[in-house]
Amino acid sequence: MKKIILLLSFIASLQLLSAQTQISGIINSDSLLSEQYSPYLVNSNLTITPDGIVTIESGVEIRFNNGVKLEVRGTLIADGAVGDSITFTLASSSSKGSWSGIEVKNDMGANASFSYCKFLYASAAIEESCCWGGNVSVRNSRFSNNITAMGGYSGDNAAVDSCLFTNNTYCLRDADKIVTNCVFLNNEYGLYETERISVYNSTFRNHAGVALYGGRGQVDNCIIEDNVTGIKAFFEGFNITNSTISNNNIGIELGDYDGYLSPLANNEICNNRTFNIINNSDRNIDVYGNCWCTTDSAIIEDKILDGYDPDTSYFTRGLVSYDILDEFCDSVIKKIDKTNINNMCIWTLAKSPYIIETNYIVFPDDTLKIESGVEVRFSSGVRLEVRGTLIAEGAAGDSITFTSASSPIKGSWRGIEVKSDMGASASFSYCKFLYASAAIEESCCWGGNVSVRNSRFSNNITAMGGYSGDNAAVDSCLFTNNTYCLRNADKIVTNCVFLNNEYGLYETERISVYNSTFRNHAGVALYGGRGQVDNCIIEDNVTGIKAFFEGFNITNSTISNNNIGIEFGDYDGYVRSVENNKICHNKVYNVKNCSDVDIELYTNCWCTDDSTTIEDKILDGWDSSSYGLVDYTIFANNCQSPVLKTIKSTMQVIYFTDLIEQLTGDVFLYPNPAQNKLYIKNINSRNLHIEILNISGQIVLSSEKDIVDISWLKSGVYLVKIEVDNNILISRLTVIK
């Protein structure tokens, strides 16, 4: 059939005026809008009748006068192509809502399919009329500067795939759409008061209102970031799964319909500025299985607005129960079920100070919450015992203070005892702890969790002691004038300052310290082991670091201007590694090897290339036969260039200038001579075989590893045969004992 355009009810011709093909009226046959006659001007409402089929070619532009619409009662096929889109836009100006849009009358059996189309400046670019007729699909298209991009509903799901929505007031409204692989950017609302709309694998950013305001649909595998509000419930809200909701002002606002709230599972709801979740219903909800990108319970609770929080609104908010997941969002550390809490007590600023004259207990399933600015004063020997939950959340410039009621003397009151063995939890932020025997003490094991951030411990005998089996988070805290800052075990310390104490850490195990500073300790700054010390500054102490058991693994730190830098010890012959540190200008010794184990410190710098100065500051087997030897590298050029490496015996120190032998372009053997271990470097092949032969040609050692233990070989000269991917490399090796 020949394709024509019918204009009005009777005209079957095209009129070309002002380089635009003008069309209006009724189309009731099989018709084509060709790129040859583009652009088309629609100067009054245009209708495709139930019998009409209109096909629009790639590259066609259709311009609509103000208030004009295209009404589809039959079939519209608008299939553009990559780089050759079909455009529906305004004829005269560039204002939102200037033309009415395309109305698809599903109730009359209408169908419309769009691909590679642009929709600009419409009141409602595509509007469906219910119900149960034809179908709408939109793919690879762009909606910009419309009041509504797609509205209405049909009872059947419109397919919306791989589309871009920018600068619209409302992108999707009403109901009955399946959205996949779309991007929503810089709109006021992505979805607005929608029902039965599901969204998959899509991104929503920079919405001035709400990115997804709707419900009764699925939101799965989406990224919802940098919006004023990420998701807000309409009726009972969305079922939200496997999505990232982050860096919004508010992450999710929950709501209910007749007592039902849609579930949330397996999402990352993180770093939203005001709240991660607001419960706008009076129903309790659990959001187990979602991750908050922190293990700090205080931070998590700060970002949840629910029935725990004072509220001036007309209704009572329900409680939000949740899991605390590990830092990788893989496993549950703790389940917080608020519905099991029988009693909450709040110590308010209005009633401060609180004078505690006898031991105060927070019982299991009870919660004590302390407001910013509150001061709690304890009589001599009195403690606060936590068997349930303690939430002490101050604010910058408005701290909570725990102190003595009687005298400013260390140990005047007993402290806060967190009974982790009874499931207790305690979170502290912006708190001060003064004059306690043990400001915070944990009881083992495997119960609740303790976190402390942005707090100060001063003039206590012990700032934090005990252990729970789980790591207590200690972040951005100041410790001054305490006898012992940290004792016992199970703490992760970050970004803290330890100043003018007797001991920073004392006989600790399983405590790691990162990005922290230790100065002016009268005893030892870090006396402990079985943990990591990384990127720390340890200066001006009597002793910088002393091993407890086998000591710390020490990396990337500066240990300087102490009396003694590091005192090594061992446990059952094992000594922790010390690598990539600056161990400099310590007054008596940089290093004391108090074990009988030989130690290699090859990657550490001494801030001098004078071997006599370095050796004078090392106490080892050269000074006493009961100590092991310490081998090291001499660096020059501000710790950048290795000059000499030592291999010690009890009789001599051998300095080597050529430590590494290059066997081929990418295979190195070192050291040579060697003492205890032989290293083969930059072996990229998996097919490595090493044989060591004596001067008689006998194989005395065979290995497939790139680190070979030769400690048991006798002194002498050997032949090393290295086979790499069927290539044979030979070297002479001198072994020194």
Question: Distance (Å, rounded) from C-alpha 162 to C-alpha 138?
Answer: 9
What's the farthest any 2 CA atoms get from each other in the chain? Answer: 115
| pLDDT value for 494 | 98
CA 200: distance to chain centroid? 23
Could you state, in order of their start, the residue ranges of all structural domains in the chain? 1-113+122-137+145-154, 188-339, 341-481, 661-735
Residue-wise pLDDT tens digits, 334-347: 888 877 655 678 89
pLDDT for residue 19: 56
Q: Is 199 within 8 Å of 181 (Cβ atoms)?
A: no
Rounded distance, CA 633 to CA 646, Å?
6
Spans of the chain below 70 pLDDT? 1-19, 310-316, 340-343, 447, 649-652, 654-662, 665-666, 682-686, 733-734, 736-737
User: Which tokens in the block code for residue 298?
Assistant: 């205080």
- 73 neighbors 39 (Cβ within 8 angstroms): no
Strand ranges for 28-120 from DSSP E: 30-33, 40-48, 53-56, 61-64, 69-72, 75-79, 86-90, 99-104, 111-115, 117-120
User: Are 474 and 452 within 8 A, CB to CB?
Assistant: yes
Closest among 358, 405, 408, 404 to 385, alpha carbons compared: 358
Task: Indicate the helix (H) or strand (E) that contains 148.
Answer: strand 148-152
Tokens 């982050």, residue? 246
Architecture of domain 661-735: Sandwich (2.60)
pLDDT at 371: 95
Q: What is the pLDDT of residue 679?
A: 78
CA angle 296, 300, 304 (to 5 degrees): 165
Instruction: Check if the beta carbon of residue 196 is closer than 8 Å to that of residue 178.
Output: no
What pLDDT is stored for residue 15 in this prediction? 36
- pLDDT value at residue 678: 81
Average pLDDT, the chain: 89
For residue 386, give Cα distances in angstroms to 319, 342, 436: 22, 15, 16
